[in-house]
Structure 1
């Protein structure tokens, strides 16, 4: 499955999990949200942040889900471990880290 389709599935599932209609989000047009949820469009990072927060989930959760679709539970745990490790390494070299 493509990353775009994984993101589409994650957005739609998160919205449904919260019981919110596309119209109920109020952050973008229903046409745009539909295109995102069908994998026909890909949001910018800012737009993904806006939509995910309107749904009530962290944008990283939706993005992580996009990468995790089709993985076994063990592979998902390993992916989480890799991401945590890489974030720690990146932070170590971020000269502007707070």
Structure 2
């Protein structure tokens, strides 16, 4: 599955999990949200952040789901370990933070 379709499934699942309609989200047009949830468009990072926060989930959760949607539970757990390890490595080389 493509990352675009994974992201589409993640956005739709998050919205449904919270019981919010496309119209009730109030951050974008229903047409745009529908195109995102069908994988026909890809949001910018700013728009993904806006939509995810309006739904009530962290945008990283939606992205993580997009990459994990076809994985087994064991593979999802391994992916989580990889991401945590890579974040720790990035922090060591982020000169702006230290």
* TM-score, normalized by the shorter chain, greater than 0.5: yes
Into which bin does the TM-score normalised by the smaller protein fall? over 0.9
Q: Deviations for 1:37-76, whole angstroms, at most 9, x for unmatched residues?
A: 0000000000000000000000000000000011000000
2:31: which partner in 1? 31
CA deviation after TM superposition for structure 1 residue 97, in Å = 1.1
Does residue 83 (structure 1) correspond to residue 83 (structure 2)? The answer is yes
2:10: which partner in 1? 10
Normalised TM-score (structure 2): 0.99
CA deviation after TM superposition for structure 1 residue 26, in Å = 0.4
- 1-structure distance, mates of 2:97, 2:84: 16
Q: Could you list the runs of 5+ residues in structure 1 that have no partner in the other structure?
A: none
After TM superposition, the runs of 4+ consecutive aligned structure 1 residues lying more than 3 A away are none
Superposition pairs of residues 49-88 of structure 1, within 5 angstroms: 49-88=49-88
Normalised TM-score (structure 1): 0.99
Aligned residues: 98
Alpha-carbon RMSD: 0.7
1:43: which partner in 2? 43
- 1-structure distance, mates of 2:78, 2:27: 34
Q: Could you list the runs of 5+ residues in structure 2 that have no partner in the other structure?
A: none
